[in-house]
Structure 1
Amino acid sequence: MPTPAQDAPIAPQPVISSRFAGGDEGYFTLVWRRFRRSVMGMIGLVLVVLMLVIAIFGDFFAPMDPNEANIGFAPPDSISFMNPDGSFSLRPEVYPIVETGEFDAVTFQPLTGPDLTNPTPLGFFVSGYSYKVLWLIPSNIHFFGAASPGHPFHLLGTDKFGRDILSRGIIGSRISLTIALVVVMLTTTVGTLVGISSGYLGGRIDAWTQRFVEFVLAFPQLPLYLALTTLIPITAPSNVFIAFVIGVMAVLGWAQLSREVRSKTLSLARIEYVRAAIAVGSGDFRIITRHILPNVLSHIIVAVTLAVPSVVLLESFLGFLGFAVKPPLISWGLMLQDTGSYSVIGSYPWILSPVVFVLITVFAFNALGDGLRDAIDPY
């Protein structure tokens, strides 16, 4: 005869989704799910992706030839949706800046002003100067520009040689971001290898390695940057000069990351699964690559995203002083050389436009780094 307990209906058991239990999700999936909740992190990710795309396809996005000279120190063109007769137009138009035929009474420079009688209509996917997509495929199509080829316009004005600042800023992102990414890649690789090896092996190797790291960190970096960059002749090719600058930045930039990675390795080397791997006879290389490096990787990723803005700022500063990039190459720091005097800034404030490119880059990578740090840190 069944008992009352046997007659009672069986309550359904709650079903726990693997999405919340984490059973079917990997580590990077969980990090991505946490990262998506960060608004600033997502904004930084979108900006970083856009900057990389614009840097790779810079000629496509640049509306003007960055080396074409027009009117020196011309102010930004005015954009209007109104026709000269006062009617509304769906297609935006710019009024080019031309010389008025008069001269400034103090500086004796020719005065410029908008040509209201000759508006330039804008459009997307228009023809312009010729270039090669990815340095291989010839093309002359640009993302936006003057609907009629041969009509110059300058949305951010021109520099002292009459070259378009917007186009030079877009093309200059290649050099600035390339220097930053290559330097960070080199410093991350060297700093990670030195830090993990020093922290795991310990003993005299760790002691001597850390004394060398302290020796590198003891140098005042800015005077050393300036001293080392002056060793290369001015007549050297631009590629050689960039390689030398990258090498100087990389040699002086790996030490801090190695200290951080070493401290992480010292704590991980005492964890049970690392001791168990040592007990079963695993080699040092296997322990470092399979057990320690994956646990240090999260800190390295965040350090990379936060190191890129520092290198961009350093390159801009060295370029402003004339120690980073030489013409005919273009970088944001080199463009800022025109802002060397207060009189120029006061008369032509639009030449500070490259600062906006630097600010956007620093903000994007810092926001991305903060979002990754919050997503990766389990606490």
Structure 2
Amino acid sequence: MLAFSDSTPPTEEKLKPTGGNESYPALVWRRLKRSWTGMSGLLLVVLLLLMSVFAEFVAPLDPKATDSGFAPPQVMSFHDKDGNFSLQPRVYALAETEELDPVTFQPIVGPDYNNPRLLGFFVKGASYDLFGLIPGDRHLFGTTDGQPVHFLGTDKFGRDILSRAVYGSRVSLMIALTVVFIVTVVGTTVGMVSGYFGGTFDAWLQRFVDLVLAFPQLPLYLALTSLIPVTAPTNVFLAFVIIVMSALGWAQMSREVRGKTLALARIDYVRAAMAVGATDRRIILQHIFPNVMSHVIVSVTLAIPSVVLLESFLGFLGFAVKPPLISWGLMLQDTSTYSVIGSYPWILSPVAFVLITVFAFNALGDGLRDAVDPY
């Protein structure tokens, strides 16, 4: 038998698309969610930023509070001194033992199983002013009785390493984000203007970029940061370090953006905009800038780990942050001698924060690179 098809014209509901039109950010987000590395990097980046913003609340102790000197990390346990299991986590207070350190001949500090300290969340501890305005004494975690606990041990002055690392994330990430912001703004602007106008202007501007790229950066960092007096205020020294890093970092970004702009300036819709009399400013901002943003975003996420590593290295050498500020690089100055590392290996703990930060931003950048690529 012959089958007759329905000749009824399609209604408006049948013609209506089911999914709707997605914007470019929505498409990027949908593709980013498929990458487990990108999402794990995004989660770690969010946690790092929250930790740095709410450092007073996250840190269990006052980073400037001192104790008796080097002390090993206190391990969390779910067992009492008799080995019985308990749902309440605890740590044991540190006390001097009869054994002596073979290097310093000081009594070795070990756990005192007769003095357990129960752990909890949102406990009371050292008072602080959140953002310098909101007073408080609640901390994310710590002991229920307010006694100090050192999950990563203490440094040579008896200061809690974990609390100092949490506070140090604020300075290290602030330096990285500020430097990358300045580098991105200057590099993107110079690159787009140079690639769009071309000609003699582009040739001379690129020779200046070549001059900046030709400088050996590490010796120049050390030379420039050594020019500022040691007695200068901490904020002045920090601003000078940011300016030096930014002045030497924008050239590579501008070279990458220029290459993208040279290709975009020859596309048909840009030439059509020129033909109808669009101004150079409108063409750069409305047609070229949105198309280079995907590359800029990926470059930003990949540049932040480089700045974090550079700040840690310069801080280790003593050319980045000065006390009383705290940064991961400054904390690593205590690891300058092999004897200290051999006797007190827990002072290398800030390295873990640097590694996590570098992995987080690199993973996020790798996921974004795949998500923003239209091909």
Please report the TM-score for the alignment, with normalisation by the length of structure 2. Answer: 0.95
Q: Give how far 1:113 is off.
A: 1.3
Alignment of 1:77-96 (within 5 A): 77-96=74-93
Partner deviation per Cα, 1:30-61 (whole Å, 9 max, x = no partner): 11111110000000000000100010000101
Offset at 1:73? 1.6
Name the residue aligned to 1:287: 283
- In structure 1, what is the Cα distance between the partners aligned to 2:102 and 2:355? 36
Cross-structure match for 2:65: 68
What are the equivalent positions in structure 2 for 1:145-156 lying under 5 Å apart?
145-149=142-146, 151-156=147-152
104-113 vs 288-297, greater mean Cα deviation: 104-113
Shift of 1:78: 2.2
Deviation of the 1:105 alpha carbon: 5.0
1:241 aligns with 2:237: yes
The residue that corresponds to 1:175 in the other structure is 171
2:52 corresponds in structure 1 to 55
Aligned to 2:228: 232
For residues 265-286 of structure 1, the C-alpha deviation after alignment (integer angstroms, 9 at most, x for no partner) is: 0000000110010001110000
Secondary structure (helix, strand or coil) at the match of 1:236 reads: coil
Alignment match of 1:309 (pick from 289, 305, 320) = 305
Instruction: Indicate yes or no: 2:155 matched with 1:159.
Output: yes
Correspondent of 1:114 among 111, 114, 118: 111
Counterpart residue number, 2:204 = 208
Select the residue among 231, 248, 251 that pairs with 2:247.
Answer: 251
3-state SS in 1 of match to 2:89: strand
SS in 1 for 2:115: coil
What secondary structure, in the 3-state scheme, does the structure 2 residue paired with 1:90 have? strand
AA aligned to 2:330 is L
> Given that residues 38 and 363 in structure 2 are in contact (C-alpha distance below 8 angstroms), is that contact kept between their aligned partners in structure 1?
yes
Deviations 1:99-133 (A, max 9, x none): 23664354222321111111111111111111112
Q: Per the alignment, do residues 18 and 236 of structure 1 end up closer, same or farther by CA in structure 2, a change over 3 Å counting?
A: farther
Alpha-carbon offset, residue 345 of structure 1: 0.9
Helix, strand or coil at the partner of 1:152: coil
Q: Which residue of 1 aligns with 2:130?
A: 133
Q: How many residues align?
A: 371
Q: More deviation in 315-324 or 82-91?
A: 82-91
CA distance in 2, matches of 1:12, 1:134: 65
- The amino acid across from 1:188 in the alignment is T
> Structure 1, residues 119-165: CA drift from partner, whole Å, max 9, x if none?
1111111111111122210001001101002x111000011111101
**Rounded Cα–Cα distance in structure 1 between residues aligned with 2:80 and 2:8:** 75
Q: Which amino acid is 2:110 matched to?
A: G
Q: CA deviation at 1:87?
A: 2.5
Is the CA contact (8 Å cut-off) linking 1:298 and 1:376 kept in structure 2? yes
Deviation at 1:88, TM superposition (A): 2.0
Q: What are the ranges of 5 or more consecutive residues in structure 1 without an aligned counterpart?
A: none
- Partners of 1:37 and 1:18 in 2: how far apart? 22
Q: Which residue of 2 is the match for residue 326 of structure 1?
A: 322
- Alpha-carbon distance between aligned partners in 2 of 1:11 and 1:261, rounded to the nearest angstrom: 55
CA–CA separation in structure 2 for the residues paired with 1:154 and 1:121: 13
Is the contact between residue 146 and residue 152 of structure 1 (CA under 8 Å) also seen in structure 2? yes
CA deviation profile, 1:210-264 (whole Å, cap 9, x unmatched): 0000000000000000000001111111111110000000000000010000000
Distance in 2 (CA, whole Å) between partners of 1:195 and 1:156 is: 45
Secondary structure of the residue aligned to 2:137 is strand
Which residue, 218, 223, 226 being the options, matches 2:214?
Answer: 218
How large is the RMSD of aligned CA atoms in angstroms? 1.7
Query: How big is the shift at 1:79?
Result: 1.6
Which stretch shifts more, 173-182 or 123-132? Answer: 123-132
Letter in 1 for 2:34: R
Residue type at the aligned position of 2:30:
R
Secondary structure of residue in 2 paired with 1:115:
strand
In 2: Cα distance, 1:15 partner to 1:154 partner: 65
| Amino acid aligned to 1:99 | E
Cα drift, residue 24 of structure 1: 1.5
Q: Is the 8 A contact 1:336 1:352 kept in 2?
A: yes
CA–CA distance in structure 2, aligned partners of residues 349 and 300 of structure 1: 40
